[in-house]
Amino acid sequence: MQDMTPINTAEASERRAIKISAKEVTVHYGAKQALFGVDLDIEENQVTSLIGPSGCGKSTFLRCLNRMNDTIDICSVGGQIRLGDINIYDPKVDVVELRARVGMVFQKPNPFPKSIFENIAYGPRIHGLCRDKSDMEEVVVSSLQKAGLFDEVKDRLDEPGTGLSGGQQQRLCIARAIAVSPEVILMDEPCSALDPIATAKVEELIDELRENYTIVIVTHSMQQAARVSQRTAFFHLGNIVEEGPTEQIFTMPKDQRTQDYITGRFG
Amino acid sequence: MSDHIVTSYDDDLKELAGKISEMGGRAERLVEDSIAALVRMDMVKASETVEKDTIINSLDQEIEEKAVLTIARRQPMAHDLREIISALRISVDLERIADLGKNIARRTLALEGKKQPKQLVHGIEHMAELALTQLRTVLDAYTGRDDVAAIGVWHKDREVDALYNSLFREFLTYMMEDPRNISFCTHLLFCAKNLERIGDHATNIAETIYYLKTGLPLEDRHFEENEQLDLD
């Protein structure tokens, strides 16, 4: 019976609820096509990493998930992306509300040029999530705590967020994303500008956040993808070549192109 | 498989595989020599063979260091990782094979001056041939990354085991016939046991080659085959 175990666990992970379901997603930047019909189911409370060489469309795909591509005039998105039971490209969808449900953390930490407190309070305020000042304080404190930053900044919440170190700034951005209680957090190479220690802290945080959020992360670090994610999708030339449990992708990839990429053989 | 973008990475892996091949060749020769020394009661060759084991031990050490360094430096993935892990495992098996060969040579030294029944030594020689063929085939399978040949070695281990069992009975008969044979036969029995263990290490290597090639353990496959056989 022992050899049945892996199959059972594989089935268990199959049965996880699907948070975001992308079908036949295409993206054009003007005449240039960046994505060619991408299908991907993103499981709830899991970290999904998107890997692939530069220009393969992984960031483009990530930005489709909260309609960040809307901000680019020449960009057009086709296909369907469902978040729960809504089609996020439905014209009736309020984009601001969508982005509160699907938050984002970028490559470079980009705190607002405001105090640490205001950086966190901004989102909940514009979305009208807090009734009064003490409510707001609670949200700020708990967001900073969840992002593992509170102890480091509790005595200087009124100092500018831009005065923090790079790693702290990135965790501030994660706290800011958490403050509006999103369901999904998208991260576009969140550690590429950080040193190894700050990276380790953010990775630790990602693992903790998985309990309450669904996380999709774009990363160029194979080791990072292997460490933090449960599922991995390998993009190449605007398509998903292979998607599956991270463990399998990094130990026994099925596709030769995946094998070549993760072992550093891509020409 | 195509080369790595970083060419020194390929050099690292080639060096590891090269060292394994070298170690395999040396271990094979050591076992051959130990058997030759036993058959001909050549004490000089026996003591030379005992000495040669140190070279293999230091090769094992070198492979381990190289493997650890490569893992630390390259963070290997998928097939590359299996390549390194396999080198580590195979070097352990080869080191053990050489130890077993050395042991046979030591027993030869202990047998100096004792009269030996020809027929019994023939049995050992035959078993050594079989075990060494297994070892040679599995080392070739490693060089050629040939998982089919590895499976062949894996299945053929039964023959080594069967031969060991028949030799065991033969020795027992001799010992019962004449108690003066006991000392000699016991030494030969240990030699036979060592050869049987060498066969086991060859199958371990076969399993490693299969894993290296496919990423799967060989036992599972065997399990499926047995099930099919049962159904037939």
Please tell me which residue of chain B has the smallest CA distance to A248.
Answer: B78
> Residue A226: its chain B contacts at CB < 8 A?
77
Cβ atoms within 10 Å, residue B219: 13
Percent of chain A with pLDDT over 90: 75
CA proximity to A202, closest of A247, A231, A165, A154: A165
B228: pLDDT strictly greater than 60? no
Mean pLDDT, range B31-53, rounded to an integer: 95
> Residue B74: its chain A contacts at CB < 8 A?
264
* Cα–Cα separations (whole angstroms), residue B224 to A9, B219, B228: 20, 9, 6
Query: Helix or strand or coil: residue B143?
Result: helix
pLDDT band at B222 (very low <50, low <70, confident <90, very high): low
User: pLDDT tens, A58-93?
Assistant: 999 999 999 998 888 899 999 999 998 899 999 999
- Alpha helices, H only, chain A: 5-14, 58-64, 95-101, 116-126, 133-146, 150-153, 166-179, 196-209, 222-228, 246-251, 256-262
> Residue A3: its chain B contacts at CB < 8 A?
220, 223
Rounded to a whole number of angstroms, the distance from the CA of B203 to the nearest CA of chain A is 21
| Rounded-to-integer distance, Cα A49 and Cα A193, Å | 18
For this complex, say whether ipTM is above 0.90: no
pLDDT at B29: 97
User: pLDDT tens, A183-240?
Assistant: 999 999 999 888 888 899 889 999 999 999 999 999 999 889 999 999 999 999 999 9
A7: pLDDT strictly greater than 60? no
**Kind of pairing, strands A75-83 and A86-87?**
antiparallel
Indicate the helix (H) or strand (E) that contains B95.
Answer: helix B78-110
CB contact under 8 A, B77 and A266: no
B223: pLDDT strictly greater than 50? no
Does residue A212 belong to the interface with chain B, where contact is any CB pair within 8 Å?
no
Domains of chain B: 2-231 (1.20.58.220)
Domains of chain A: 2-262 (3.40.50.300)
pLDDT band at B219 (very low <50, low <70, confident <90, very high): confident
